[in-house]
Amino acid sequence: MKLKTGDTAPLFTLKDQTGKTHTLSQYLGKWVLLYFYPKDDTPGCTVEACSIRDSWGAFGSLNAVVLGVSVDSVASHAKFVEKFELPFTLLADEYKQVVKMYDVQKALGLVAARNSFLIDPTGKIAKVYEAVKPEQHAAEVLADIRELQKSR
């Protein structure tokens, strides 16, 4: 079943690039950009990650955190974070549990599709982004958070 705006974001627990465990529920009270991407250190994924990195201060000023998810390993994420100095969390979904929960499988389920979910501070999905354009995604999400904050 496809998730949509207004649905409660499915809870999960995954390890980040340092091996630290993160649960979605620990971010209640903040905006969360949960972005799925196909593979570490590939052209489109690097553009998207660096765009978010370059907008990092704006995310913080809006009480927003970024959680990137792919099926790559913790070690792969660690290399990607180090190589591009990424200041946000990358989560390793090696067993594709979260990819399946959020229904973002691609290529016979081998990688995650480039889809994202903006989750509001109450844990509800505020916006679903499909077929994300890597170079525009950070700016689009920041504009949406600003707009949604005005309307609350």
Type and span of the H or E element at 97: helix 97-101
Q: Would you say 22 and 16 are in contact if contact means Cβ atoms under 8 Å apart?
A: yes
Q: Which residues of 122-149 are buried (b: 16+ CB within 10 A; e: fewer)?
A: ebebbbebeebebeebbeebbebbeeee
Type and span of the H or E element at 44: helix 43-54
Q: Would you say 80 and 89 are in contact if contact means Cβ atoms under 8 Å apart?
A: no
Rounded to whole angstroms, the Cα distance separating 90 from 66 reads 8
The residue annotated as part of the active site, out of 9, 33, 45, 99, is: 45
Residue 50 is a catalytic residue: no
Q: Would you say 123 and 28 are in contact if contact means Cβ atoms under 8 Å apart?
A: yes
For the annotated catalytic residues, the residue numbers are 45
